[in-house]
Structure 1
Amino acid sequence: MELTTVWFLLIAVLWTGYFVLEGFDFGVGILLPFLGGSDGERRTIVKTIGPVWDGNEVWLLVAGGATFAAFPEWYATLFSGFYLPLFLILLALIVRGVALEYRGKSDSTKGWDRAFFWGSLGPALLWGVAFANMVRGVPLDAGHEYTGTLFTLLNPFALLGGVALLLLCTQHGAVFLALRTTGELRKGAARIAATIAPITVAVVLVFLLMARAGVLSWVAVAVAAIGLAVALIATLRGRDGWAFTGSAVAIAAFVATLFTSMWPNVLPALDPANSLTVTNAASSPYTLTVMTWVAAIFTPVVLGYQAWTYWVFRRRLTGAYSA
């Protein structure tokens, strides 16, 4: 297998890890105003992601760094053409991080809770819009420069992708809260997960069926459907662990559909002759070889650390945290 293909797959894996892990962080923030009836409940909700949310964002940093190093043309065109949406995502993530750090140090948490909500909803929606445009294709000239405008990116297919990812993250957050809490808070989270599941299934499958291209994409769509079905059935039966697993599989299959639909392009153009591919956007073979050795050494370390963190904080939060 060529190194360009290896790094395309590795970047897809990094984005998958980001959306599976950060996805429930976004969902928790989106659900905070709807589940947190009291200050104690809202503190419990925030504590479910307190030890892990900043570690989950590392996946985004690594995915961005890997894209810059392995496919610099892809990185340059993407960040110049999608400058405003990516800037808004970055701004929202900063606001969200500040809200999580300072809400516990303030006498009034209402403002920080609103910042947490919008800082979670915005990226979930905008990431979906951005990736849907990468699947659909964008206007590029012969020099691989983006020639569209902001409104070019706000097409119906991209907006559908944004809503699909937003719903996926919201449901993922709901099943995560059901898994990590007890009592009325758990019941409320499970109720929301079951309520929005049919809408999520409909929107996500419509989007993925429009996005798929090729046999692998069809397989990914089928896996996403199975994952969402498992999440719904397990939620109704009170099997929170299986519900979270099904939701995670659905998100992973969602991302897989996006990347298999792009392949062998990394950024399709409306004129196929101007598309960025794994070949014309890649770094030199020497650069990719060095990156491969570095990734082989340090990736298991990072994965082991994150696995240990989740194991340490695996227990449900009880009423003791709601006082």
Structure 2
Amino acid sequence: MDLQAIWFFLWGLLWAVFFMLDGYDLGAGALMPVLAKNERDRRMILNASGPFWDGNEVWLITAGGATFAAFPAAYAAMFSGLYTALMLLLFMLILRGVSFEFRGKVESAAWQRTWDWLHVVSSFVVALLLGVAFANIFRGLPLDEQGIFQGGLLTLLNPYGLAGGVLFVIMFFLHGALWLGLRTDGELQKRSQAVAEKLWIAFAIVLVLFLAYTAVETQLFSNYLRWPVLLIVPLLAVIGLIATRTFLGSRRMWPAMGASALTIVAVTFFGIIGLFPALLPSRLNPGWSVTAYNSSSSELTLTIMLVVVAIFVPIVIAYQTWAHLMFAKPMGDEDLDHEEAY
């Protein structure tokens, strides 16, 4: 496998890990109005993600940085053509981070409720925008021969793009409900687990419909028809989905989270493998697509980056694994009394 292909799949892996990790705190935040019945519940939801949310978003920065360094032409096309959508995404991520920190700075119910709603809205919009963005990439963007985006923000709000947004929102909702069913206690934990069971049904239905729509609207299945062995990837998504419901039914929440994470990674890689070698397919003319080969940096740059990734990514994974193990047990009232708690 050449360096361009290796970096294409590393690029996909970075996005998959970001969705797997940040997906649960985005989902948990957006579900606050559904699950929280009082101030304690709202604080429990925030603190369930508290030790992790900023570390999870490191993977988004890494994915963007890898795009810039490994595929600069793709980065240029993406961050110029999708500038408005990406700035909105960035603004929502900033607002969400501020909501964590500012909520508890003033002892006022109105102040806290304001930041709670900003947290809910920003979490929901981030999940929606990510789904819309990737669905449009799967569908193909209106890129001309110079890789210039021929459209605007409304171009992205097509039926297939919005369907991808709905898929991501429900997928993250399920992941977030499972996380709260793992990290919280009492009635909030029971409500989270019950809502997760309902969301599982919704996600299974939407996923099947989205795949059927994908077969009509995109060329993602072409690589799978050419190399049937690749069908192991969507099969893993199905296995993860079934395992999620099985573990959830027996209230084994850590295995349920793991199975949900497998589903998210497999769903992401279904699209990534279907795209290869195109990073940004052109809907106007397939020959104008931005690919791993016509947009990549030099062989030397890709080699140096590969060495850096091989050294530092395992360190980041080890740190995040340690952090999740440190906060593995469900929270209680004593955790809300800590000075560092939100």
SS of 1:90's partner is: helix
> In structure 2, what is the Cα distance between the partners aligned to 1:243 and 1:319?
25
> In structure 2, what is the Cα distance between the partners aligned to 1:206 and 1:226?
18
Aligned to 2:10: 10
Aligned to 2:217: none
Q: TM-score, normalised by structure 1?
A: 0.96
Match of 2:191 among 185, 188, 191: 188
C-alpha displacement of 1:286:
1.2
Aligned to 1:282: 296
> In structure 2, what is the Cα distance between the partners aligned to 1:216 and 1:252?
18
Match of 2:205 among 202, 207, 211: 202
Count of aligned residue pairs for this structure pair = 323
93-102 or 299-308, larger mean C-alpha shift:
299-308
For each residue in 1:81-112, what CA deviation from the matched residue of structure 2 results, as whole angstroms up to 9, or x when unmatched? Answer: 11111111111000000000111222131011
- 1:312 to 2:326 alignment: yes
For each residue in 1:17-39, what CA deviation from the matched residue of structure 2 results, as whole angstroms up to 9, or x when unmatched? Answer: 10000000101101111111111
SS of 2:279's partner is: strand
For each residue in 1:252-293, what CA deviation from the matched residue of structure 2 results, as whole angstroms up to 9, or x when unmatched? Answer: 111111101111111100110101111001011111111111
Aligned to 2:340: none
Aligned to 2:315: 301
**Contact residue 231 and residue 242 of structure 1 kept, 8 A:** yes
Aligned to 2:118: 115
- 1:43 to 2:46 alignment: no
For each residue in 1:90-143, what CA deviation from the matched residue of structure 2 results, as whole angstroms up to 9, or x when unmatched? Answer: 110000000001112221310110011011000100100000111110111111
- Where do residues 267-278 of structure 1 align in structure 2 (5 Å cutoff)? 267-270=280-283, 271-278=285-292
**One-letter identity of the residue aligned with 2:67:** T
> In structure 1, what is the Cα distance between the partners aligned to 2:259 and 2:314?
25
143-152 or 45-54, larger mean C-alpha shift:
143-152
Aligned to 1:228: 241
**Contact residue 164 and residue 200 of structure 1 kept, 8 A:** yes
- Where do residues 236-255 of structure 1 align in structure 2 (5 Å cutoff)? 236-255=249-268
- 1:164 to 2:134 alignment: no
For each residue in 1:184-216, what CA deviation from the matched residue of structure 2 results, as whole angstroms up to 9, or x when unmatched? Answer: 111000010011211111112221344341136
Q: CA 1:51 to 1:180, structure 2 compared with 1: closer, same or farther past 3 Å?
A: same
> In structure 2, what is the Cα distance between the partners aligned to 1:220 and 1:121?
27
**One-letter identity of the residue aligned with 1:94:** I
SS of 1:283's partner is: coil
Aligned to 1:145: 148
For each residue in 1:143-176, what CA deviation from the matched residue of structure 2 results, as whole angstroms up to 9, or x when unmatched? Answer: 1111122222111111101100100000000001
RMSD: 1.4
Identity %: 41
C-alpha displacement of 1:76:
0.6
> In structure 2, what is the Cα distance between the partners aligned to 1:242 and 1:302?
22
**One-letter identity of the residue aligned with 1:181:** T
Q: CA 1:217 to 1:87, structure 2 compared with 1: closer, same or farther past 3 Å?
A: farther
**One-letter identity of the residue aligned with 2:122:** G
Aligned to 2:91: 91
- 1:77 to 2:77 alignment: yes
**One-letter identity of the residue aligned with 1:33:** P
- 1:291 to 2:291 alignment: no
> In structure 1, what is the Cα distance between the partners aligned to 2:153 and 2:233?
30
Where do 5+ consecutive residues of structure 1 fail to align?
none
Q: CA 1:115 to 1:101, structure 2 compared with 1: closer, same or farther past 3 Å?
A: same
Return structure 1 stretches of 4+ with deviation > 4 angstroms: none
**Contact residue 40 and residue 321 of structure 1 kept, 8 A:** no
- 1:135 to 2:149 alignment: no
SS of 1:266's partner is: strand
Aligned to 1:28: 28
SS of 2:37's partner is: coil
> In structure 2, what is the Cα distance between the partners aligned to 1:278 and 1:97?
33
C-alpha displacement of 1:231:
1.4
C-alpha displacement of 1:222:
2.3
> In structure 1, what is the Cα distance between the partners aligned to 2:272 and 2:213?
14
Aligned to 1:54: 54
**One-letter identity of the residue aligned with 1:159:** L
SS of 1:48's partner is: helix
Q: TM-score, normalised by structure 2?
A: 0.91
